[in-house]
Amino acid sequence: MSLVDDARFAMPANESAADVPTSETELTELAGLDDFTDEIDAVEAVDTDEADDVEPAEPTVTFADLGLHDDVVRALAKRGVTTPFPIQAATIPDALAGKDVLGRGRTGSGKTLSFGLPLLTRIAGAEGRTKPKHPRGLILVPTRELAMQVADALEPFGSVLGLKLKVVCGGTSMSNQIYALERGVDVLVATPGRLRDLINRNTAKLDEVMVTVLDEADQMADMGFLPEVTEILDKVPSGGQSLLFSATLENEIDSLVKRYLKNPVTHEVDAAQGAVTTMSHHILVVKPKDKAPITNAIAARKGRTIIFVRTQMGADRVAEQLIEAGVKADALHGGMTQGARTRVLGDFKDGYLNVVVATDVAARGIHVDDIDLVLNVDPAGDHKDYLHRSGRTARAGRSGAVVTLVLPHQRRGVFRLMEDAGVDASRHILDHAFDAEVARITGARSLVEVQA
């Protein structure tokens, strides 16, 4: 049964909340499955003689080839992880050699292991023991959720090396963090504000930090954290190693690099500017009255979807709208307590929720590898926000689609935004939300390709 024909998604005439595509066929096309099938057919059509002429592929690099500690390699293998992503293969050897590293890669390209595994290996191999209040590794991240996810990703490998990791962030018990620091923490995963507070209380000292990582540096700049970041980095010994990872290297980030990194080795893999071939982008121009039913239909699809809106009130409103339509959804925004945000993220990861409706700031902490659709119910404010939103899908080598709903008067602005983002998006006008032709979405009369 088509989603379009399902009475559950019929909305009152005066409803004007949010919206999405209108059929399973439509969603299949938006997810790029038709194109994928065409590619498979093309590969199968290659004749045997031509295939015989293809040069053999180069040997696959494994984590065991990169110089990591044997215990780390074994821990990876137990989790079925043996082959590094490109940015991991590129950066890990340089990081293990003690070089400063500047990594430019989009969110979801595998950066956590790129900096985390060398950091843990180098600290485990260093002489001496970690003193109370004096961590030897520091990872700075922009959000609480990202801090927790980075720590969760690295803790198993720190454990096999006998290293203690601790998350230091707002919204959680400071006394618990102080207690852990006083007992001795090898690696701190911290947000800038909370770490600065602990430094000011004399409960965290950075004068023995060997390796410093700035993860998602561009997001820290966008969120206004650079004053705290520079204040923290000024307390780290100048002879240590610095690794900075960012999707973009503009203005303030470039200043950080020049000030704190020494002759960094630069690696650029899967850069943010439209280089992700596993991600497809689509603009749907819709009428105001059709926006809510389209949103409901897309949200009712199988798989995980993240929906972006501009405001906290908008997130609550759209989430309520989806719940009333029978969709397992919830909101995520800065107006919620940390406990509530953690619960929503946990439910999303565990499959109890299919949809999270988020604002830009809250969604910076969403790092889930199997989100295959991002729906912009409200267009992004600028191209950087668009790229950050898009980075929630097509992570870790997977495919994904980004769909932006656009009202007629928003068209020009969104088209310019896509150009600034370096994104080639398909453009469609939907004449009717529940037209039978729209259900087919491919070449139907009610789907008009917009000329560039």
**Sorting pLDDT into bands at 50, 70 and 90, what band is 430?**
confident
Which pairs with CB-CB distance under 8 Å and at least 24 residues apart come from 346-350?
A: 348/304
- Which among 155, 260, 292, 272 is positioned nearest to 222, based on CA atoms? 272
How many CA atoms lie less than 13 Å away from 416 in the CB half-sphere? 6
Q: Is pLDDT of 20 > 70? A: no
pLDDT of residue 108: 56
Nearest-angstrom CA–CA distance, 179 and 157 = 23
pLDDT of residue 294: 84
Q: Is pLDDT of 17 > 50? A: no
Q: Are 352 and 328 in contact (CB under 8 A)?
A: yes
Q: What is the DSSP letter of 97?
A: T
Mean pLDDT, rounded, of the chain? 78
Indicate the range of 102-106, 238-242, 251-255, 358-362 predicted with least confidence: 102-106
pLDDT of residue 422: 83
Tell me if 202 is assigned to some domain: yes
Same domain, 303 and 429: yes
Indicate the range of 7-11, 72-76, 215-219, 269-273 predicted with least confidence: 7-11
pLDDT of residue 242: 96
Tally of CB atoms within 10 A around 153: 15
pLDDT of residue 36: 37
Q: Is pLDDT of 13 > 70? A: no
Q: Are 86 and 249 in contact (CB under 8 A)?
A: no
**Sorting pLDDT into bands at 50, 70 and 90, what band is 219?**
confident
The residue-averaged pLDDT of 156-161 equals 94
Same domain, 295 and 226: no
Tell me if 57 is assigned to some domain: no
Tell me if 235 is assigned to some domain: yes
Q: Are 115 and 139 in contact (CB under 8 A)?
A: yes
Same domain, 368 and 421: yes
What does the pLDDT look like over 85-101, one tens digit per residue?
A: 888 888 999 999 999 99
Nearest-angstrom CA–CA distance, 320 and 316 = 6
Q: Is pLDDT of 320 > 60? A: yes
- 365: its two tokens: 């902490």
Same domain, 222 and 284: no
In terms of residues, how long is the chain? 452
Q: Residues of the chain with pLDDT > 90: what percent? A: 38
Indicate the range of 144-148, 230-234, 363-367 predicted with least confidence: 363-367
What does the pLDDT look like over 114-123, one tens digit per residue?
A: 999 999 999 9
Tell me if 54 is assigned to some domain: no
Q: Is pLDDT of 42 > 80? A: no
Q: What is the DSSP letter of 163?
A: -
Q: Are 190 and 139 in contact (CB under 8 A)?
A: yes
The larger pLDDT score, comparing residue 67 to residue 251, is at: 67
> CA torsion sign, 361 to 362 to 366 to 370?
negative
Same domain, 159 and 199: yes
Into how many domains does the chain fold? 2
For 133: left if phi > 0, alpha if psi spans -120 to 50, otherwise beta; the answer is left
CATH code, domain with 120: 3.40.50.300
Same domain, 255 and 400: no
Tell me if 78 is assigned to some domain: no
- 79: its two tokens: 């989790």
Indicate the range of 6-20, 65-79, 108-122, 170-184 predicted with least confidence: 6-20
> Residue 101, SS3?
strand
Same domain, 140 and 197: yes
Q: Is pLDDT of 41 > 60? A: no
Which structural domain range is residue 209 located in?
A: 86-268
Same domain, 233 and 119: yes
Nearest-angstrom CA–CA distance, 419 and 435 = 31
